[in-house]
Structure formats: C-alpha cells, structure tokens
Amino acid sequence: MKNTLLEKYGPWALVTGGTSGIGAALAEELAKAGINLLLAARNQQKLEQQAQSLTSRHSIEVATISVDLSQKDAYRELIDKSEGYEIGLFIPSAALENNGKFTQIAAEDELRLLQLNVISVYALTHHFARKMQERKKGGILLITSLSGIMPSPYFANYAGSKAYVQNLGYSLNWELKRYNIDVSVLTPGPTSTPMLEGTGVDFAKTPMSIMSPQSVAKIALKGLGRKVVIVPGLKNRIMAFMLKYLISTRAAIAMNGKMMEKVASFHK
C-alpha cells in the first residue's frame, strides 16, 4: 500500500484537522507512505509539534497552515496559502459536533458547525477537484459519520451536516472517476477522539464499536479508491446495513432517540 499511495496521490496531501483524532492518524499513515503533508488546523503550536514529530520520524516534508475553518470565508485563506503545493490527496478531517436538545443549542454555535462541516468542505473540495481534474490524477477522502446515514436525535444539525458530505461524496465518485480522481467516503462510528470524549455519551452502551483513530485511518487508506463508502468495524457495518435495509425510518428514529436518552448525560 505504501508505494501505491505515493504513486497515486503524491507528492503532497492536504489534511485539515491534522493535529488530533482521525486527521492526525491519517497524517501519520500518509507520512509512513512517503507522502509530503500540508497540515491545516487552528492551533499553531500543535501544528508545529506535529510537523516536527513527523519530519523527525519519516523522510518527508511537512508544511502547516494555521486557520479556523469555522469562520466565514476562512477557506479562502487556506486556498491562497496552499498555492504552490501539488495536492494529490485532499482529506477534510476537521469538524465540529454539537449535541443536546435542538432548541437549546445556540444558533451561532450551529452556524459555525455548518461553516466548518459543510461550507468549507464544499469550497475546498471544489477547488482541489478542479486542480486534480487538470492533472487527470488525484484522490479525495471525505469523512462523515454513522450519524450521517441514520436518524440522530440530539445530534440533529451535526447529523444533517454529515449527511450532506455523505451524498456529496457518493455523487462525486461517479463524476470524477473519468478524470482518474478517486473519491471515497469514510463513515466511522464512535472513535476515541477528543470530539467523542466531549459528547457526554457513553457509546460503550450502544451497539456500535468504539475504534482507535489509528485503526480507522489504516482501514480508510486501504479502502481509498477501492470502495465508495468505507465503514470501519464489523458492528458498525452491521448497524449501517440494518438501518439501510432492515429497519423502517420511523423505527430507526424511535430506536436511536430512546437509545440516546438512556446513554447521554445531556438528557438527564
């Protein structure tokens, strides 16, 4: 896989949210494959630490861009600062997650979520897809969530944002493959990340697998270009299959709503 990734998607990969969670794990795996990295995240200090760590352990270049993509038009800054890098692989891993009762979450927080999870993902994917189309080569790995393919009471806006990305990826897979651009959608279940820890949900009590970011990243890159949708973890794949083929929407809404009310601290 190492040589394949470098040949297909080198010389540079851009990973947003590349300092923690799945984004950091993907950056590590790409570094092992010999791909140079352009990492984008909010915290400049963490970016510098991540860059130093990766360059000291792998024979690659790492460049960083400090940017908060939840702010209006911040994606333009990332586009401008990425000029000069031949991005062969784009992975928008940065995301926000709000949870709780829909009417009690501040609207400004939910709008920041949409700015990061939807608008910046669209704008950056559009930009880099056009660049890849000109070169007739590239890869895009969009990152969603099981929440994006199922009813998710108390995660309504987050789930809606991930549903957008899910269908964007499905559709672009067909459109862009004629230009030798691979588009896959990574749809993980609960993953041991700072985002998961902040949800207030005990996912160990749900019928889903809690996976490590490292495991998710390895599965994602193995499936990139081979699968349209990549769902890591057997329990998660079973859950996705049941929701798609075996359970009515009404039943899924009730099942997931009741489950969240049992395992979520914000409902107590």
CA distance readout (Å), 76 to 67, 141, 151: 10, 20, 33
CA 10 to chain centre: 20
Which pairs from 167-171 meet CB under 8 Å and 24+ separation? 168/121, 168/122, 168/125, 168/142, 169/140, 169/142, 169/144, 169/228, 169/229, 170/228, 170/229
Is 158 an annotated catalytic residue? yes
What is the Cα–Cα distance from 205 to 209, expressed in whole angstroms?
Answer: 10
* E strand segments, the chain: 12-16, 36-41, 62-66, 87-92, 138-143, 181-186, 229-230
The one-letter amino acid at 120: S
CA-closest candidate to residue 35, choices 24, 27, 23: 27
Asked if 182 and 8 touch (Cβ cutoff 8 Å), the reply is yes
Element (H, E) at 50: helix 44-57
- The answer to whether the bond into 232 is cis (omega within 30° of 0) is no
DSSP state of 245: I
What is the Cα–Cα distance from 17 to 125, expressed in whole angstroms?
Answer: 15
* E strand segments, 11-132: 12-16, 36-41, 62-66, 87-92
Half-sphere exposure of 189 (CA within 13 A, CB side): 18
122, 158, 164, 245: the catalytic one is 158
Catalytic residue ranges: 158
